[in-house]
Chain A
């Protein structure tokens, strides 16, 4: 299969921008605390789908953008995303064969690891007031993985992005 390079880049960027928009959407408080980490989900999808195109450096750059977007310490998301994407790059062949529930479990682990990294760095920085609800997005993100997976696959097939 020949890669249609232009539409691949367009699709990749469009889904990332959409994910960034979703992650800063103003929501009522009870929804706000469970807002999933959309950008990481989309990144994981593209890493699994196109491991030869979307690599660790890519994830790192996206992480930097997320840092600027959400006003975090510079490099915190970059570090977390790069490490998580590195793991998925290592196991992408196995993970692609798994059925969706098992895949979701693996994605949950990755998201949890990313959140742990964020937590460590935030507390090292001396932040206080991070309560248990900080961990809720991990759960909701994992629950949204099937949606992201099927949605992006549909988007990819309908847009002839291979």
Chain B
């Protein structure tokens, strides 16, 4: 028994050969997760149903206004996207097409207290696979670490074992943000004391490493402490995604292969690898 266990442990650590067994067993354990998460969701739905109609109307009004505002913003965004494609065409760069997303719901379960891993109700049956990035409406949430047939496990960006390549939106400074083990804190340990970064700076994903799509908001820098006796400064940031109260998330399929663009002047679509335009 001991030998089998140790063999299993090493096999699972080294390769993905046991994933099938795990998938089969997960069909037994998935109902437990659903049952545990059901009362909480039921309670939330009941509170939603019994919401007062006046509040609903108020909600509706504010949502309509928000919709209008975001429509206007989207119009501008469309124009900007077109302009961006045109400019990139001039630079003979290809433009990455938009991503495909899948909405998944969180199961209210807590796997391990010292890790930030969540279970969502969409799995490999929906084509979810490992290393896909996960977003909510505010920013990046994390990435899929394991996909089972009926569910998948998502590691949050605040997990102590997680790191995400980011870029300061203001000046393009690249670095890595590491999870701190607290849901409201990220750490940027690899920036020197004289780095051009200020509290309030927005960090967006840089797309380096290929795991996350480029340009999505990750966090806002909230403190920058110079440590004169150490090579690196002490910088922390707050995640943009509201990790403690998300219900629905978006699982993203990012299209990493460059897409050729049609420039009106030149007839032949060119396929050139997407190069970094930052120096």
Contact = CB atoms under 8 A, between A and B. Distances in A.
A and B from one complex: yes
Interface in B28-43: 28-29, 32-33, 35-37, 40
Interface residues of B, number: 38
A121 B35 CA distance: 30
Interface stretch (A41-49, A61-69, A98-106, A153-161): A61-69
B53 interface: no
B111 A70 contact: yes
Contacts, number: 98
Contact of B114 (A64, A78, A134): A134
Nearest to A74: B12
Contacts of B40: 26
Given A74-B21, A128-B161, A69 B29 contact: yes
A79 B114 contact: no
Classify the interface of chain A: helix, strand, loop or mixed.
Answer: helix
Classify the interface of chain B: helix, strand, loop or mixed.
Answer: helix
A21 B113 contact: no
Interface stretch (B2-10, B166-174, B219-227): B2-10
A79 B2 contact: yes
Contacts of B114: 33, 129-131, 133-134
A75 B29 contact: no
A138 interface: no
Interface of A: 17, 20-21, 24-27, 32-33, 35, 56-57, 60, 64-65, 68-76, 78-79, 82-83, 121, 125, 127-131, 133-134, 137
Interface of B: 1-2, 4-6, 8-9, 11-13, 18, 21-22, 25-26, 28-29, 32-33, 35-37, 40, 108-114, 117, 119, 145-146, 153, 160-161, 181
